[in-house]
Amino acid sequence: MTPIKECLLNKNTKVKPVWLMRQAGRYLPEFREIRKKNTDFIKLCLNPELSKEITLQPIKRFGFDAAVIFSDILMVPYGIGQFVEFKKNFGPQLGDLNNINLDKISEKEFTDNLAPVYKLLENLKNDSNLIGKDLIGFVGAPWTLMVYMINKVSPKNGLKENFFENEELIDKLLDVLDQFIKLHIKNQVESGASIIQIFDSWAGLINDKFDKFLYNPTKSLVNYTKQLGVPVICFPRNIKDYPKFCNIVNPDVISIDYNVDPRSIIDEISIPVQGGLDPDILLSDKKNLRQKVSEYLKIFNSHPYIFNLGHGILPTTEIDMVEELVKVVREFK
């Protein structure tokens, strides 16, 4: 059994697996070399050979306990037919939803649009670099994907003032997203994903109607994934009540963000916990890094815990800091 499965299925507290969100990406010089020659991010995600190479880069360097596929949560809007592009120093920009007939999207067309993602997983599942490791596929949660699809840009500066005006569109999108996120999960699992993580990156923007936007849509995905026989990790970033989320949604693992005091939740959450470390700590010095990593490991010493960050690794992170992080986790007793 893999270290992560030992932790999340057998609740083994002696095993402390480690992987990092966005571990396949911009902080690696070998990734930057590929990116220089492949400026279209969506096309790169849809190149099974290059995306396989990128997925394996951090495994070869650091020996993490899981590979997370090189892809993006916005591949689902792309698969549905919405225009998606990533602009340098700006981020994602999506096309007008009026160009899509939400009633006429076929599951075959969606699967065909994202076939290279599934080919990537097929190429990885028997790779010798992943013996004894997990292969993590992922999706965005309905709320976060809906925010991008209606807002058309990252909501870093908040949602459009009229975001909630079109209730009919919101209800329709939530239904469509439930269908096609599940299809994306199913296709990933059938292609080789051994774990699915659900990213709700903008869950912290929800101020009311938590059942409609957070709990019910995510629980639907969690139950579906469990029925496929695959464990599911939830990362509802910046929510106020992680214990309540766990009680309602019941994922196999809850991934916490860096604004959470781990001491405040350790006694209230019975399921395995993942993450929490502020990615900025990796931009400090090794002494501080060792101290902060050790703090998390000590807090969760008697609790099933997967070491990870409280958000994605930052592009300016130095390689030797990641090496130090892995060393501290591996040597912890």
Q: Which of 186, 105, 177, 97 is nearest to 142 (CA)?
A: 177
Q: CA–CA separation, 199 vs 206, rounded Å?
A: 15
- For residue 250 the two structure tokens come to 């019941």
> HSE of 245 in the Cβ direction (CA atoms, 13 Å)?
27
What pLDDT is attached to residue 16?
97
d(CA 199, CA 215): 13
The tokens of 178 are what?
């439930």
pLDDT in tens, the chain (333 residues): 999 999 999 999 999 999 999 999 999 999 999 999 999 999 999 999 999 999 999 999 999 999 999 999 999 999 999 999 998 878 899 999 988 899 899 999 999 999 999 999 999 999 999 999 999 999 999 999 999 999 999 998 778 888 888 899 999 999 999 999 999 999 999 999 999 999 999 999 999 999 999 999 999 999 999 999 999 999 999 998 999 999 999 999 999 999 999 998 998 999 999 999 999 999 999 999 999 999 999 999 999 999 999 999 999 999 999 999 999 999 998
CB neighbour list of residue 287: distance below 8 Å, 6 or more residues apart: none
Backbone torsions φ then ψ of 209, nearest 5 degrees: 55, 45
Where in the sequence is the domain holding 97, given as residue range(s)? 3-331
pLDDT by residue (tens digit) across 125-147? 999 999 999 999 999 999 999 99
Q: Which of 100, 75, 95, 72 is nearest to 172 (CA)?
A: 100
pLDDT given at position 256: 97
Number of domains within the chain? 1
Please report, as a single letter, which amino acid is at residue 26.
R
- List, for residues 95-110, the tens digit of each pLDDT value: 999 888 998 999 999 9
Looking at 152-285, list the stretches that DSSP marks H as alpha helix, in order from N- to C-terminal side: 167-191, 210, 216-227, 242-249, 262-265
The CA dihedral of 101, 102, 108, 114, to the nearest 10 degrees, is 100
CATH number at residue 25: 3.20.20.210
Q: Is 195 exposed, middle or buried (0-12, 13-18, 19+ CB in 10 A)?
A: buried
Q: Note the pLDDT of residue 162.
A: 85
Return d(Cα 114, Cα 59) in angstroms, integer.
24
Q: 94 - beta bridge partners?
A: 84
Of 155, 143, 329, 304, give the one whose Cα is nearest residue 218: 143
Give the closest residue to 9 by CA, choosing from 134, 101, 157.
134
Which three-class secondary structure state does DSSP give residue 321?
helix
